């Protein structure tokens, strides 16, 4: 429980303790010296402690006063810093801070972000790539793109992109290596494995893909594991093996021919990409603008994928 604290008295005392003078504290706070003195006296009565040694040479805090002044400076200082941060973040021209997993940022967001920059030259977007996607409650970011089932309680949550799963590889792997015409041919290839965290439900693994496609997964010739999905995609492009492609991350590479999908089996994933933010965040015009752009880009990709599979 947060106690009812005499904030004006606390601030007055901290100023006197730091400056060593009631008059200088009064000037800093733009009040009378008498008002500062009354606030400090009220705080001493409230705590039951003598907090200042008063003399003609100045005012020095007692041992209890030193501890009190440090606590006030730390606590009220943090509040002040956070308020400044929030005020600057809500300014019309403040940077938009977006948290994203590295794989999504590299393979989907970065190639599209230039279009937003060109359309909105007065807005700056800062991308934080990390595995935890930032702490929205603590104010580390304005918006976050997260991956999973979408169960983020107490937040504004909007599905951005669903995904389908299908094996992909470099064209060179098929031209110089073993054939890949059926699922059984995977036994002669290296499988590239994305170590996806278990976020509930059934993660999009090779075994999940095979089961949902009604196939029996053979034992591969070899496996290579990666901790980030962009590394899996890049390894597939470089011809190191066959990856289980997740549609939002491979669509561009399929379009350019850097990757091909040799097997026809496409399976819907239980996981998706979600736009997550504090419930009131989209009241800020610049964040609403960026959200609308993200949704439009996601809608266009979904339309392209639907056309390609129709």
Contact 168, 260 (CB under 8 A): yes
pLDDT the model gives residue 133: 42
The helix/strand/coil state of 147 is: strand
Can you read off the two tokens belonging to residue 192? 């590239």
Tens-binned pLDDT, residue by residue, of the chain (310 aa):
445 667 788 888 888 888 888 888 888 777 888 888 888 888 888 888 888 888 777 788 888 888 888 888 777 666 655 554 555 455 566 889 999 988 999 999 999 999 899 999 989 999 988 655 444 444 568 899 999 999 888 899 999 999 999 999 999 999 988 999 999 999 999 999 998 877 888 999 999 999 999 999 999 999 999 988 999 999 999 999 999 999 999 999 999 999 999 999 999 999 999 999 988 889 999 999 999 999 999 998 777 666 455 4
Q: Tell me how far apart the alpha carbons of residues 143 and 123 are, in angstroms, rounded to a whole number.
A: 15
- Per residue, what are the HEC states of 182-216? CHHHHHHCEEEEECCCCCCCCCCCHHHHHHHHCCC
Q: Tell me how far apart the alpha carbons of residues 33 and 48 are, in angstroms, rounded to a whole number.
A: 22
Q: List the one residue out of 157, 137, 221, 155 whose CA is nearest residue 187.
A: 221
pLDDT the model gives residue 258: 97
pLDDT the model gives residue 93: 64
Q: Tell me how far apart the alpha carbons of residues 228 and 98 are, in angstroms, rounded to a whole number.
A: 18
The helix/strand/coil state of 140 is: coil
Question: Does the pTM of the predicted model rise above 0.75?
Answer: no
Residue ranges of domains in the chain, CATH in brackets: 7-89 (1.10.10.10), 96-160+272-309 (3.40.190.10), 163-269 (3.40.190.10)
């Amino acid at each position: 429980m947060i106690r009812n604290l005499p904030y004006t008295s606390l601030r007055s005392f901290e100023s006197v303790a730091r400056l060593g003078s009631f008059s200088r504290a009064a000037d800093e706070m733009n009040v009378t010296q008498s008002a500062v003195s009354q606030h400090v006296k009220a705080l001493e009565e409230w705590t039951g402690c003598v907090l200042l040694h008063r003399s003609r040479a100045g005012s020095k805090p007692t041992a209890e006063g030193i501890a009190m002044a440090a606590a006030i400076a730390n606590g009220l200082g943090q509040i002040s810093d956070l308020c400044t941060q929030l005020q600057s973040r809500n300014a019309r021209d403040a940077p938009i801070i977006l948290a994203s997993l590295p794989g999504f940022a590299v393979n989907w967001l970065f190639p599209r972000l230039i279009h937003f920059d060109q359309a909105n030259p007065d807005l700056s977007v800062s991308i934080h790539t990390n595995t935890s996607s930032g702490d929205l409650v603590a104010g580390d970011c304005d918006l976050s793109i997260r991956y999973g089932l979408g169960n983020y309680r107490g937040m504004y949550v909007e599905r951005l992109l669903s995904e389908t799963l299908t094996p992909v590889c470099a064209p060179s792997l098929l031209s110089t290596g073993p054939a890949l015409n059926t699922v059984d041919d995977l036994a002669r290839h290296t499988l590239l494995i994305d170590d996806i965290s278990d976020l509930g439900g059934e993660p999009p693994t090779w075994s999940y893909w095979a089961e949902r496609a009604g196939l029996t997964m053979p034992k591969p010739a070899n496996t290579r594991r990666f901790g980030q999905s962009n590394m899996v995609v890049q390894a597939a492009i470089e011809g190191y093996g066959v990856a289980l492609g997740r549609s939002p991350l491979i669509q561009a590479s399929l379009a350019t021919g850097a990757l091909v999908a040799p097997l026809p089996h496409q399976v819907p994933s239980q996981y998706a990409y979600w736009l997550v933010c504090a419930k009131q965040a989209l009241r800020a015009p610049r964040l609403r603008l960026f959200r609308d752009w993200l949704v439009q880009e996601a809608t266009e990709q979904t339309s392209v994928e639907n056309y390609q599979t129709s």
